[in-house]
Amino acid sequence: MAKSLGFSFCGISKATFLEEEAPRLENWLNKNMHGEMQYMANHFDKRLDPRLLVDGAKSVISVLYNYYTDKKQTDAEAPKISKYAYGEDYHVVVKDKLHHLFEFIKDKAGEVNGRVFVDSAPVMDKVWAKKSGAGWIGKNSNLINKQHGSFFFIGEIILDLQLPEDSPIKDYCGTCTRCIDACPTDAIVEPYVVNGSKCISYFTIELKNEIPNDVKGKFENWAFGCDICQDVCPWNRFSKPHNEPRFEPAVSLLEMTKKDFENLTEESFNKVFKKSAVKRTKFNGLKRNIQFLNPDF
């Protein structure tokens, strides 16, 4: 059923306390690697135990939904938008499909209590996906799948239904350090550890204040998000373009020139990014990012 809904992968793990992750998360937060992302520190217990999110939870179903596209912005000098934000906001698209999957489960299993999650609650998506055999967490902290690379969204259904569990797979990063070498802000402070507060995606999306001057000239023209550590990952040579019409990039976005971005008005922002995740940074946030890329502007 998951496959028929367009998911690339569906796996199951036991809903239990994430014992290994607890000290890692605490250490990461204590080092302030979440920056202004205060929500990462909230609900610490819920983040580590799905049974606090769903009463009597027994299983976590993890799914992957491909968003890779080979379509590109036509002006090589235009500020760059991360591929994940080309189409309609993934929170809406993937959640719709997960609700369909959950309804299917209820039709088959009867009375089931559960909740659907798509990057919108204190759920450690990548950890659950890893436990379900969806892939391994790479040195850039992204989940990597042997067949599909890493250009996908992760979603979960946490429910009180006992389901047969899948097993994790091994790490296939080997000695490769391409993502670490390519990160212009040195956000990957050591293999498998990303300082979120140094990531271009953090600066261009999460940070609400002014972008610090010490990273000026290091963004490689990214105005919303960043795909560098994924673009250089050898496993993404297996990425195939998605088949989701709602993720198709608007022609008006792809054809925006550098000048179009610099002259962007709130009206045109609302039109071009009407359903896109770019709306998360709001008009003023995107204008700030564009101005930061161009010191002469």
Mean per-residue pLDDT of the chain: 94
Cα gap 18→193, rounded to integer Å: 18
Beta-strand pair 9-14/143-144? unpaired
pLDDT for res 39: 66
> Could you tell me what percent of the chain has a pLDDT over 70?
97
81 bridge partner residues: 224
pLDDT for res 295: 67
Whole-prediction pTM: 0.94
Determine contact, residues 240/6, Cβ cutoff 8 Å.
no
The ranges of the chain with pLDDT < 70 are: 36-37, 39-42, 295-297
- Residues recognised as catalytic: 119
Cα gap 185→65, rounded to integer Å: 28
pLDDT for res 25: 82
pLDDT for res 211: 95
Give the tokens for residue 264.
């962007």
Q: Model confidence over 11-66: pLDDT tens digits?
A: 999 999 999 888 888 887 788 777 766 766 667 888 899 999 999 999 999 999 99
Q: Model confidence over 158-175: pLDDT tens digits?
A: 999 999 999 999 999 999
Determine contact, residues 131/13, Cβ cutoff 8 Å.
yes
